[in-house]
Structure formats: structure tokens, C-alpha cells
Amino acid sequence: MSLELYYWDGLQGRGEFVRLALEEAGVDYVEVARGKPSKGLGTKAMMAVMQSPDEPYPPFAPPFLKDGDLVIAQTANILFYLGPRLKLAPEVDSLRYVANGLQLTIADVVTEAHDTHHPLASGLYYEEQKDAAKVRAHDFIDHRIPKFMSYFERVLAQNPAGDSFMVGDTLTYVDLSMFQLIDGLLYAFPRALKRFGEHYPRLAALHDAVIARPNIAAYLDSDRRIGHNESCIFRHYPELDKAAT
């Protein structure tokens, strides 16, 4: 049975971190919400799982993954499950927890990036909170991006196995997720990150190395890859971007 990934159609979002792992591994999977309702797929099929009165542990929100009867929710949790099965996790058990910790830290950055355009309430439109968004985004650019990126750069520099990968000496799902995080930030804040490679050379090299991987390159060039857009987590609003201090 193919793995089933459930996430909103038309969005990269948090589901993209899972997609990248599945694509790198070259495994078969079904994007349920993007499928045809005539085949029992589509957004209604995803909502049916979330709202099912018969599901003993229903997921709160996508992304979630189905592997047979097992339902796994939350991006980091999904990747913690998939990593060993896709050979995208460290072989040493102790390092698997390091990888999970880094993935959770990436999730923290993703949340803060989202909050730059929705700083007051997720139920309000961006246009209803633009003034607060500008304050939040500029603080994110000046303080939070440097704090997080400096940390991730240091993780690469201090990796005992070398600075090519975030954990250990081979590619893991954390490297793929780091690519996605950087790619999203570059899209949302091109002025702020104009000198990204100069400030964070190891992270920039990792980003480019992931792009060059054959399976990832093929995926990025396919119609399976949803483009960045202003309905997603990483949004480019010129008024929120600025040169970093």
C-alpha cells in the first residue's frame, strides 16, 4: 500500500517538508487532497479522516500521514517516523533525537515566519493587520532570522562528522527541511537575505547541495512542486521586506 499524505491542495506549507523526504527517497505516495473526488480523493476525503467519529485518534490538522491503519500527525513527528524507513535518519539512535530536536527548531522558525504576516490573529486577513505585520516582520528580519540562522550555521560548523550535513555524515530529512526553510525565507524576504551566502556560507552550500540532488532537482522541476504563493506560510509582501541591519 502506498503512503498517503494529507495536506491542503495548492499550498507548500508544512506538508512540503514531508513531500521533500518522500521525493528524495523515491517512494510511491498519494497526495490525497490533490486527487480526484471521483477516485475517493480530494479535500473532502481529507476532512472525512479528521472529522471521522470512528477514528480513535483523529488528527487535529494536516499534515498527517497514513501508513496502512497508522495515522501520524505533525510534521516533525511524521519525519521522525519516516526517517529511518526512508534511510533519511541517522543510524545512531542518539543522533535521531538530535535530528528531531533540530526539526522542532525549524518548526519554531516556520511559526515565526507565518506570524510576520499574521501577527494579531490567524482569523483576520493580512490587510486587517498590516501595520502590526510590518513591526513584526522587521523585528523578525533584524533579530530572529540572525539568531536562528547563526545557530544552524554553528550546528553545521560543529558537526563532528564535517560541515556538509546537519547531523552525522549523510543526508537526513533535517537537511531537506533546512533547504525548504531557507528557500521559503529567500522568497519572502529577498532584500533582507540578499547577503545570505556571505553571512551563512555553510547553510548556503547546504541549500545548493540539496537542489543539486537528482531526485530533488526532478521534483522541483515537476508539476508536483507547488510554487510559493501568498496563501502559504512564506509570503512575499514587499512592504514587509527590508535590508537587514
What are the residue ranges spanned by the domains of the chain? 3-85, 93-213+228-240
In tens digits, the chain (245 residues) has pLDDT values of 489 999 999 999 999 999 999 999 999 999 999 999 999 999 999 999 999 999 999 999 999 999 999 999 999 999 999 999 999 999 999 999 999 999 999 999 999 999 999 999 999 999 999 999 999 999 999 999 999 999 999 999 999 999 999 999 999 999 999 999 999 999 999 999 999 999 999 999 999 999 999 999 999 999 999 999 999 999 999 999 999 88
Name the β-bridge partners of 29: 3
* Spatial CA neighbour of 14 closest among 180, 174, 125: 180
Q: How far is CA 193 from the centre of its chain?
A: 18
Tell me, what's the pLDDT at 55? Answer: 92
What is residue 2's predicted lDDT score, i.e. its pLDDT? 83
Q: What does the pLDDT read at residue 232? A: 96
CA-wise closest residue to 6 among 57, 104, 78 = 78
Which superfamily, per CATH, for 3-85? Glutaredoxin (3.40.30.10)
Question: What are the start-end ranges of the E strands in 50-176?
Answer: 64-67, 70-73
What pLDDT is attached to residue 76?
98
pLDDT the model gives residue 6: 98
How is domain 93-213+228-240 classified at the CATH fold level? Glutathione S-transferase Yfyf (Class Pi); Chain A, domain 2 (1.20.1050)
Cα 98 to Cα 108: distance, rounded to the nearest angstrom: 15
Spatial separation of the C-alpha atoms in residues 171 and 219, rounded to whole Å: 17
For residue 178, CA distances in Å to 35, 185, 245 come to 28, 11, 23
Are residues 236 and 187 in contact, defined by beta-carbon separation less than 8 angstroms? yes
What cell does 143 get? 533579530
Reported residue count of the chain is 245
Question: Could you tell me the sign of the dihedral formed by the alpha carbons of 178, 83, 216, 64, in that order?
Answer: negative
pTM value? 0.97
- Output 125-131 pairs: Cβ under 8 A, ≥24 positions apart: 126/235, 126/237, 130/239
pLDDT at residue 14 in the model: 97
Maximum Cα–Cα distance across the chain: 53
Contact between 104 and 211 (Cβ < 8 Å): no
Tell me which residue of 74, 139, 80 sits closest to 112, measured CA to CA. Answer: 139
State the Cα–Cα distance between residues 130 and 136, nearest whole angstrom: 10
